[in-house]
Amino acid sequence: MKLGRALAGISVLTVASALLLETTANAIPMSINVPIVGDSPAIRYSKLDRTECEAELTKRNVPFKSEAETRGVLAPVRLTGPIHGVTFHSPLSPEKRAVQPWDILDCRLVLALDDFSQILAKYDVVDVIHFSVYRPPILKKNVTTARQHGGGLAMDAAIFIRKDGTKLQIDKDFHGRIGAQTCGSGAAPAPSTPEATILRDIVCTAADQRLFNVVLTPDYNWAHRNHFHLEVTAGASYFLVR
């Protein structure tokens, strides 16, 4: 997407810099490094249509409102409250969050976040600040839905705030290294601080549960040094954790 278009109207520096850093990050290599599991949540969610997905959100008591037609997004919604005690939002003011595009999510990503919030709640996380979810795409002729951020299917989660007010901040607390293994035996933050250990547990539990098809961390590249990219990929049958 064009950077000028992406940055239009954003006054929050962190959002702007995160978008700037990720402009080339959409070229994600689609290699498989986690075994495929047929009935994984992410794969199940990615196959739902709008009606099925919204019905599932309602069944789960997830607070949301449907959005009007949104370019590139199959099932656009906004969250209207916390999920399992966890609020997901951009750094914008509540008034701006209600109207700006960056807090629009595809319903199928919200199902994954509903599961994810139950992991977060175990670590007393109550707030997740993301740089953006939806970024309006330029669509090719005859294409109606987009992938990743263009489809509202990916969240760049940057800061996790706990009940006691302490923050787990990816850029300061993750302690990864580009090229290092993120999860599995032998993978560990260095140095292994309590904050880094919690962030590692959170992201690796989500990976183990196959909540997202693509999980990118600071171990992946410099563009991801300050956030987790958490993505449900429509039509995918693979998982990638880097």
- Chain residues in the site for Zn ion (CB under 5 A): 154, 156, 229
CB of 185 to Zn ion, least distance (A): 27
Rounded distance between C-alpha atoms, residue 163 and residue 92, angstroms: 21
Note whether 206 and 212 are within 8 A (CB).
Answer: yes
Q: Virtual CA dihedral for 174, 158, 237, 119, nearest 10 degrees? A: 80
Which of residues 55 and 138 has its CB atom nearest to Zn ion in the complex? 138
Which of residues 25 and 121 has its CB atom nearest to Zn ion in the complex? 25
Which of residues 45 and 102 has its CB atom nearest to Zn ion in the complex? 102
Greatest alpha-carbon pair distance for the chain in Å reads 50
**Host H or E run for residue 106:** strand 105-106
**Nearest residue to Zn ion on Cβ basis:** 229
CB atoms within 10 A of CB 60: 14
Note whether 26 and 149 are within 8 A (CB).
Answer: yes
CB of 131 to Zn ion, least distance (A): 8
CB of 216 to Zn ion, least distance (A): 7
Which of residues 229 and 242 has its CB atom nearest to Zn ion in the complex? 229
Which of residues 56 and 146 has its CB atom nearest to Zn ion in the complex? 146
Distances from the Cα of 230 to the Cα of 116, 153, 193, angstroms: 10, 8, 23
Which of residues 54 and 147 has its CB atom nearest to Zn ion in the complex? 147
Q: Virtual CA dihedral for 155, 159, 161, 162, nearest 10 degrees? A: 90
CB atoms within 10 A of CB 74: 19
CB of 149 to Zn ion, least distance (A): 6
CB of 229 to Zn ion, least distance (A): 4
CB of 156 to Zn ion, least distance (A): 4
